[in-house]
Structure 1
Amino acid sequence: MVDDKIEEAKAALRIKAHAARAALPQADRADAARAVTHHFFEGIALHAGDVVAAYWRIRDELDCQPILVRLMDRNQIVVLPVVLGPDEPLDLRVWEQGASLYEAGFGTLAPSELAPKAEPDIVIMPLLGFDRLGTRLGYGGGYYDRTLASMKKKPKLIGLAFAAQELDAIPREAHDVPLDAVVTEAGIRHFGNSA
């Protein structure tokens, strides 16, 4: 059951977080993406066989592409999400070296529908906001919530954001799975027992 007061609070926080992200100077964004990439590879434990789910940036999200390139260069298995429908979990398709990417809805790119699928060990997630407890504020569509609920294993959840997207507190509902870590241009913050 949806708590209307929590949904109203989240809607207001989405407006605030999106405004903070949109206000960041364009000139600082590439530097932030490089810093986040450095912090990610310094602070997140990756093993050779790990499957890493990432994303293709839309709108003014932090650019994940430098991380994607490095993961592919390391021969890490990378999957990208595809939206199948408004009430469906994301389809996580393997992006193989040299394979083309195609329009996958919402302005994002992903491998073709013929690409193999894989369940990730690590999920790199875009977000609108995060708080000191690791609560992630998404866009409100529930795609990641449904996807995580449908998985057989619990992956490590890593949020990528600009430091300006941190909020004082985000209400957390039962279906809201907290992040294990968040990486910003200012560094990495681990929550709980994440390594």
Structure 2
Amino acid sequence: MVDETIEQAKAALRIRAHAARAALDHQERAEAARAAAKHFFDGIALRPSDVVAAYWRIRDELDCQPILVRLMDSNQTVVLPVVLGPEAPLDLRVWEQGASLYEAGFGTLAPAELAPKAEPDIVIMPLLGFDSQGTRLGYGGGYYDRTLARMKKKPRLVGLAFAAQELEHIPRDAHDVPLDTIVTEAGVRHFGAAA
């Protein structure tokens, strides 16, 4: 059951967080993406066997491409999400070295339909906002919530955002899974058991 009071509060926070993100200029965005990638690799322990779910940036999200390039160059297994429908979980497809990416809805790119699928050990998640408790404010579609609920294992959840997207407090609904870590251009913060 969705708490309408929480949903209304989140809707107002989404407007505020999106405005903060949209206010950043092109140069700030590029520098932040490079800095966040450095912090990611300095602050997140990766095993060679780890499957990493990432994303292809849409709109004004923090660009994950510097992380994706380095993961692919080091032969880490990378999966990218595909939206199959409004109530379906994300389809996580392996992006194999040299494979083309295709339009996958919402302006994002992903591997072809016949690409292998894999369940990730680490999920790098885009977001609109985050708070000091590791609460992630997404777009409200529930895609990541549904996807995480169906996984056989619990992956480490790493939010990727601009520092300007931090909010004082985000109310959490029962289905909201908190982040283990947030990575911004300002550094890495671990929450809960990962702290």
Q: TM-score, normalised by structure 2?
A: 0.99
- CA distance in 1 between partners of 2:62 and 2:102 (Å): 20
**Residue 71 (structure 1) aligns with:** 71
Task: Give how far 1:27 is off.
Answer: 1.3
* RMSD (Å) for aligned C-alpha atoms: 0.6
Tell me the residue number matched to 2:14. 14
Which residue is equivalent to 2:93? 93
Partner of 2:193: 193
Shift of 1:129: 0.1
Aligned residues: 195
Distance apart, 1:192 and its partner CA: 1.2
**Where does structure 2 lack aligned partners over 5 or more consecutive residues?**
none
Aligned twin of 1:118: 118
- Structure 1, residues 30-49: CA drift from partner, whole Å, max 9, x if none? 10000000000000000000
Once the 2 structures are TM-superposed, how far is the Cα of residue 194 of structure 1 from its aligned partner? Answer: 1.7
Name 1:155's counterpart in structure 2.
155
Q: Which residue does 2:53 correspond to in 1?
A: 53
Q: Which runs of 4+ in 1 moved over 4 A?
A: none
Aligned to 1:4: 4
Deviations 1:2-34 (A, max 9, x none): 111110000000000000000011111110000
Aligned partner of residue 47 in structure 2, secondary structure: coil
Give the SS at the match of 1:69: helix
Structure 1: distance between partners of 2:45 and 2:148: 20
- Letter aligned with residue 59 of structure 2: R
CA distance in 2, matches of 1:3, 1:29: 34
**Aligned with 2:86: secondary structure?**
coil
Q: Which amino acid aligns with 1:166?
A: E
Gaps of 5+ in 1: none
Residue 123 of structure 1 aligns to a residue whose secondary structure is strand
**Mapped partners of 2:102, 2:184: distance in 1:** 28
CA deviations on 1:84-103 (whole Å, 9 max, x unpaired) are: 00000000000000000000
User: Are 1:109 and 2:109 matched, yes or no?
Assistant: yes
The one-letter amino acid of 1:8's match is Q
Q: Distance in 2 between matches of 1:85 and 1:101?
A: 19
* SS in structure 2 of the partner of residue 193 of structure 1: helix
